[in-house]
RNA sequence: GGGCUUGUGGUCCAGUGGUUAUGACGCUUCCCUCACACGGAAGAAAUCGCCGGUUCAAAUCCGGCCAGGCCCA
């Protein structure tokens, strides 16, 4: 049995050690904006499905004579890495100084990268693994900061208020995914809001009330909508507003919007753009009038007392209620607002749509998602994140006059949080300078991937790139932000084409997940079936379509690998292990297979150019299995010993086979490399750099129709033998064949040799049939 | 709620107006023919989700409905 593990090991190391896929700029270049995997994860079947689809194109283009820039990268910024480090090293920002924390994050990332690329390497991805970027390196930070400063200079980056979520116990910023719901026992307080009755679980937030909300369909409150009421105790006016998200069944059906009691408050505040009143900070309430810097509990008691003494309280109910808490310590989260950085994009929607139109989307309908997203944008892009491991903003603020102080380009990369340099405010002369403590959204750096890749090799003249490959789940993030940044910085599209890949599901169409226990590791597939079989499977779907992972579909690829190996074994045997020199085919059967091959080359090439890998592969499969193996090799193996046509036939068998290998090689690089070297022992290159077969119209011969006719006759004889329950090798003493006598006579030696016919009687007739 | 997308033999998937609807997996029968039984030959198996419309002609175009998936809200 074929040892795919050994063969694959041999060739992936060969490619790597000989820098087969290193980029050298030439006249024809093809550049790929590779998606960098995140260091906190590992390769899953989704990757094993989508990366080969990029690789098919990369390898095809290389064989088509392009100098292919297929770079490699790692994405190691942001929250996922922080969580990963927390798990791996038991290090959290609460127990570690920032400087050390960042160091450890970087260290863990570098370590993880060492093993991470291996899975892609094993899959035969032809990226240049020696030449990679990572998004947390000094290089990437420098470029990301430079580009940020460019946005500031272009008046595209600005500061404005934005909400943030913190844990008052841990005193750290937390993100949505670090929260969990908890059910707590609390009191629901019914308050008479000077005419409208509301209920709240957070009476202590009364001083942060900025509106009253009711459901627009609620008959009880319709008359209040649009009116103004005064906040009890505080006495300032707020509007009564309506929103369909208000639950009519909860409390009285009317709620106060406080900035901010919970996430729902945040959503409504954002949606309606109401001015915030922030009174809660670090677990203490300070409204400047009624409550002066009191812990939440005390403030709650005081407000209830105040309300009660003035007869505003209708009743108090004990309820169980769901709140957002910090998953690590269980403390209810706190929402505040702070000044954060935005990238302005709402004014250029039309231009962004236009850019989307200039890019070729594969499949085309995926562009609609982009269009819908851009059209529906309601806010500028907030790029500040209250995290730690990420690209720092190269920005300080004057604590005295509020001036924004930007780093100079020569200082980059810089981390203001750790920077000791003394700075002075140029405006007011104060030396009371504070650093920006937020870091950038990871997309703020990922959106620069074409720039990062090309600057890394100092070839910005190759901008825009040719292709981006990515999943449809991040069209609205990665694709969108990349197009946006490209527009803002260069006024140019980032790539000419974007190719969207689908998802992988289990055999029943279910998503794979740990909880369902239906996860399949790519490594297991490679071990059991081989990387070529895995890649073959990845080619069995239309671009952008989803796929189910089924064992039998992996088997089909493996069978093709074995069939290729056996085919070479046969023709090597027929040729006594020596590949003959090239000849021009003259004998009809050789002309026939050559003609079929040319037609296949034409078809496969057209499909490959059109990103229709599956159709290319089906066309090639049909040619290889049916025409080459089942018919051509069967015809020649009994016949090739005849001296006068031996050399030409063997030569044709080899040259056609090598073209088959070349056409298969983008999909199945390992076995094709192995067999190509076996057929050509002195060859010292790579099939991946060999020229792709070119269609040659001169090689279309008229004999095609005759041999097609003969194959029809063969099918009839095979059918007869099958009906007679005979072996295909069983001899037929006499066969009475009706049909086109001229053609049959021309090819009688093929029929006799292949079907083991001792004597044949040919009767000329319009219909072709065998007489019993 | 809006948008996109899918619905074809038991299973997976081609086919986008026109002769008996492609192939793979599975199934049945036969064949160890000196490359391959992870092979070869033959065969059974589909009213192309449902309803209606356009057309000489629809799996294919149009409308509606049903059912899945994804994205957005």
The protein residue nearest nucleotide B23, judged by CA to C1', is A618
pLDDT at A134: 92
Contact A135, A445 (CB under 8 A): yes
Segment A245-275, tens digit of pLDDT: 888 888 898 999 998 888 888 888 888 888 8
Inform me whether the pLDDT recorded for A640 exceeds 60: no
Could you give phi then psi for residue A712, rounded to 5 degrees?
Answer: -60, -40
Using alpha carbons, select from A569, A571, A562 the residue that is nearest to residue A655: A571
SS3 assignment, position A585: coil
pLDDT at A683: 95
pLDDT at A680: 95
The protein residue nearest nucleotide B2, judged by CA to C1', is A372
pLDDT at A5: 93
The least confident of A204-208, A529-533, A623-627, A740-744 is A740-744
Residue A123 pLDDT level (bands cut at 50, 70, 90): very high
Cis peptide upstream of residue A431 (ω within 30 degrees of 0):
no
**C1'-nearest nucleotide to the CA of A725:** B30
The protein residue nearest nucleotide B26, judged by CA to C1', is A552
Segment A77-111, tens digit of pLDDT: 788 888 888 888 988 888 899 999 999 999 999 99
The protein residue nearest nucleotide B22, judged by CA to C1', is A618
Residue A157 pLDDT level (bands cut at 50, 70, 90): very high
Average the pLDDT over A186-190 and give the result: 91
Inform me whether the pLDDT recorded for A351 exceeds 90: yes
Give the residue with greater pLDDT, A421 vs A616: A616
Structure tokens at A185: 């026992």
Average the pLDDT over A573-592 and give the result: 89
Average of per-residue pLDDT values in chain A: 90
Could you give phi then psi for residue A55, rounded to 5 degrees?
Answer: -65, -35
pLDDT above 90 coverage of chain A, percent: 58
Q: Which long-range contacts (CB under 8 A, 24 or more apart) does A513-521 make?
A: A519/A44, A519/A45, A520/A45, A520/A549, A521/A44, A521/A45
Segment A445-487, tens digit of pLDDT: 999 999 999 999 999 999 999 999 999 889 999 999 999 999 9
Pairing of strands A179-193, A196-200: antiparallel
**C1'-nearest nucleotide to the CA of A368:** B4
| Residue A514 marked in a binding site | yes
Strand partners, A321: A184
Q: How far is CA A363 from the centre of its chain?
A: 14
pLDDT at A555: 93
**C1'-nearest nucleotide to the CA of A629:** B35
Inform me whether the pLDDT recorded for A295 exceeds 70: yes
d(CA A462, CA A470): 20
CA A105 / C1′ B40 distance in Å:
59
d(CA A428, CA A712): 94
SS3 assignment, position A500: strand
**Residues with Cβ within 8 Å of residue A654, at least 6 apart in sequence:** A571, A575, A579, A580, A679
**C1'-nearest nucleotide to the CA of A363:** B5
Cα-based distances in Å from A443 to A122, A255, A360, A440, A652: 28, 36, 22, 8, 54
Segment A355-390, tens digit of pLDDT: 999 999 999 999 999 999 999 888 899 899 888 999
Pairing of strands A547-548, A384-385: unpaired
Give the residue with greater pLDDT, A745 vs A126: A126
CA A654 / C1′ B43 distance in Å:
35
A407 burial type by CB count under 10 A (0-12 exposed, 13-18 middle, 19+ buried): buried
pLDDT at A406: 95
pLDDT at A677: 97
Segment A162-180, tens digit of pLDDT: 888 887 777 777 766 667 7
Contact A74, A36 (CB under 8 A): yes
pLDDT at A6: 94
Phi-psi region of A226 (alpha: psi -120 to 50; beta: other; left: phi over 0): left
ipTM computed for the complex:
0.94
Average the pLDDT over A484-491 and give the result: 97
In A421-543, which ranges are continuous DSSP H helix?
Answer: 442-446, 449-456, 480-490, 522-529, 531-538
* Angle between helical axes of A349-358 and A480-490 (0-180°, round to 10): 100
CA A367 / C1′ B13 distance in Å:
25
Residue A8 pLDDT level (bands cut at 50, 70, 90): very high
SS3 assignment, position A39: coil
Residue A403 pLDDT level (bands cut at 50, 70, 90): very high
The least confident of A76-80, A309-313, A599-603 is A76-80
pLDDT at A274: 86
CA A670 / C1′ B49 distance in Å:
42
pLDDT above 70 coverage of chain A, percent: 99
The protein residue nearest nucleotide B30, judged by CA to C1', is A725
d(CA A536, CA A770): 41
CA A548 / C1′ B70 distance in Å:
15
CA A722 / C1′ B29 distance in Å:
9
CA A540 / C1′ B26 distance in Å:
18
pLDDT at A66: 97
SS3 assignment, position A346: helix
Residue A642 pLDDT level (bands cut at 50, 70, 90): low
Average the pLDDT over A279-292 and give the result: 86
Structure tokens at A539: 């080619």
Chain B bases near protein CB atoms (7 A cut-off) = 2-5, 12-15, 23-26, 29-36, 38-43, 68-73
The residue to which tokens 């790692």 are assigned: A74
pLDDT at A177: 63
3-state helix, strand, coil in chain A (%, to 5): 45, 20, 35
Inform me whether the pLDDT recorded for A296 exceeds 90: no
DSSP state letters, A638-692:
TTTTSHHHHHHHHHHHHHHHHHHHHHHTTTSHHHHHHHHHHH-TT--S-GGGSPP
Strand partners, A166: A173, A334
CA A547 / C1′ B6 distance in Å:
12
* Angle between helical axes of A588-609 and A45-63 (0-180°, round to 10): 120
Strand partners, A295: A284
**C1'-nearest nucleotide to the CA of A553:** B25
SS3 assignment, position A150: helix
pLDDT at A598: 95
Using alpha carbons, select from A424, A178, A192 the residue that is nearest to residue A325: A178
Residue A499 pLDDT level (bands cut at 50, 70, 90): very high
**Residues with Cβ within 8 Å of residue A188, at least 6 apart in sequence:** A199, A200, A201, A251, A316, A317, A318, A319, A321
Residue A69 pLDDT level (bands cut at 50, 70, 90): very high
Inform me whether the pLDDT recorded for A706 exceeds 80: yes
Contact A277, A256 (CB under 8 A): no
Could you give phi then psi for residue A179, rounded to 5 degrees?
Answer: -100, 155
CA A134 / C1′ B19 distance in Å:
59
**C1'-nearest nucleotide to the CA of A570:** B35
Residue A772 pLDDT level (bands cut at 50, 70, 90): low
The residue to which tokens 């140029």 are assigned: A426
**C1'-nearest nucleotide to the CA of A477:** B71
């Amino acid at each position: 049995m074929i040892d795919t593990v050994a063969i694959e090991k041999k060739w992936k190391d060969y490619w790597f050690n000989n820098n087969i896929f290193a980029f050298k700029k030439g006249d024809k270049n093809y550049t790929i904006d590779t998606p960098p995997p995140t260091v906190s994860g590992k390769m899953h079947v989704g990757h094993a499905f989508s990366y080969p689809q990029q690789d098919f194109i990369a390898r095809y283009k290389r064989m088509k004579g392009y100098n292919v820039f297929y770079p490699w990268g790692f994405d190691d910024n942001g929250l996922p890495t922080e969580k990963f480090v927390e798990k791996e090293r038991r290090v959290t920002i609460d127990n570690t100084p920032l400087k050390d924390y960042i160091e450890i994050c970087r260290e863990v990332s570098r370590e993880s990268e060492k093993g991470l690329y291996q899975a892609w390497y094993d899959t035969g991805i032809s990226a240049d693994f020696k030449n990679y970027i990572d998004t947390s390196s000094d290089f990437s930070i420098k470029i990301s900061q430079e580009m940020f400063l460019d946005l500031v200079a272009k008046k595209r980056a600005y500061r404005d208020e934005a909400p943030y979520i913190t844990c008052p116990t841990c005193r750290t910023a937390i993100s949505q995914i670090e929260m969990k719901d908890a059910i707590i026992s609390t009191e629901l307080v019914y308050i008479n809001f000077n005419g409208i009755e509301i209920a709240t679980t957070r009476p202590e937030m009364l001083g942060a009330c900025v509106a009253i909300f009711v459901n627009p369909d609620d008959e009880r409150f319709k008359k209040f909508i649009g009116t103004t009421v005064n906040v009890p105790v505080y006495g300032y006016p707020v509007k009564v507003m309506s929103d369909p998200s208000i639950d009519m069944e909860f409390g009285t059906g009317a709620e106060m919007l406080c900035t901010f009691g919970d996430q729902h408050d945040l959503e409504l505040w954002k949606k309606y753009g109401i001015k915030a009143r922030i009174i809660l900070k670090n677990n203490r309430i300070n409204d400047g009038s009624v409550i002066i810097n009191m812990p939440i509990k005390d403030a709650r008691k005081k407000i209830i007392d105040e309300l009660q003494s003035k007869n505003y309280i209708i009743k108090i109910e004990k309820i169980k209620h769901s709140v957002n808490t910090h998953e690590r310590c269980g403390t209810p989260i706190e929402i505040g607002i702070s000044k954060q950085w935005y990238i302005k994009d709402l004014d250029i929607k039309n231009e962004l749509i236009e850019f989307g139109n200039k890019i070729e989307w594969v499949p085309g309908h995926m562009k609609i998602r982009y269009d819908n997203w851009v059209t529906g944008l309601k806010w500028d892009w907030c790029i500040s994140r209250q995290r730690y491991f990420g690209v720092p903003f190269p920005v300080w603020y004057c604590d005295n006059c509020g001036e924004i102080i930007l780093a100079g380009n020569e200082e980059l990369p810089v981390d203001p949080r750790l920077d000791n340099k003394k700075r002075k405010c140029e405006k007011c002369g104060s030396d009371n300078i504070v650093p920006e403590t937020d870091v950038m959204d990871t997309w703020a750096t990922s959106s620069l991937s074409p720039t990062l890749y090309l600057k890394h090799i100092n070839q910005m003249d190759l901008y825009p790139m040719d292709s981006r490959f990515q999943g449809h789940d991040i069209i609205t993030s990665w694709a969108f932000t990349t197009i946006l940044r490209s527009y803002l910085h260069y006024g140019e599209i980032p790539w000419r084409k974007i190719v969207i890949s689908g998802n992988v599901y289990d055999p029943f169409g279910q998503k794979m997940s740990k909880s369902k226990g239906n996860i399949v590791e790519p490594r297991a597939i490679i071990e059991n079936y081989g990387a070529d079989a895995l890649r073959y499977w990845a080619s069995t779907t239309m671009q952008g379509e989803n796929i189910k992972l089924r064992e039998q579909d992996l088997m089909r690829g493996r069978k093709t690998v074995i069939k290729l190996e056996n085919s070479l074994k046969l023709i090597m045997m027929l040729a006594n292990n020596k590949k003959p020199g090239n000849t021009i085919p003259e004998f009809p059967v050789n002309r026939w297979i050559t003609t079929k091959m040319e037609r296949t080359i034409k078809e496969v090439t057209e499909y490959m150019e059109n990103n229709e890998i599956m159709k290319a592969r089906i066309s090639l499969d049909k040619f290889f299995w049916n025409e080459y193996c089942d018919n051509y090799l069967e015809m020649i193996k009994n016949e090739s010993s005849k001296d006068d046509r031996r050399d030409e036939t063997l030569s044709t068998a080899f040259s056609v086979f090598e073209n088959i290998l070349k056409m298969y090689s983008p999909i199945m690089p390992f076995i094709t490399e192995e067999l190509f070297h076996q057929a050509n022992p002195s060859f010292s290159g790579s099939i991946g750099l060999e020229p792709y077969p070119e269609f040659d119209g001169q090689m279309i011969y008229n004999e095609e129709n005759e041999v097609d006719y003969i194959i029809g006759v063969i099918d009839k004889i095979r059918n007869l033998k099958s009906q007679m329950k005979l072996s295909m090798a069983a001899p037929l003493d006499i066969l009475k064949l009706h049909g086109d006598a001229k053609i049959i006579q021309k090819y009688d030696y093929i029929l006799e040799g292949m079907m083991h016919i001792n004597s044949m009687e040919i009767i000329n007739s319009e219909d072709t049939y065998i007489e019993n």
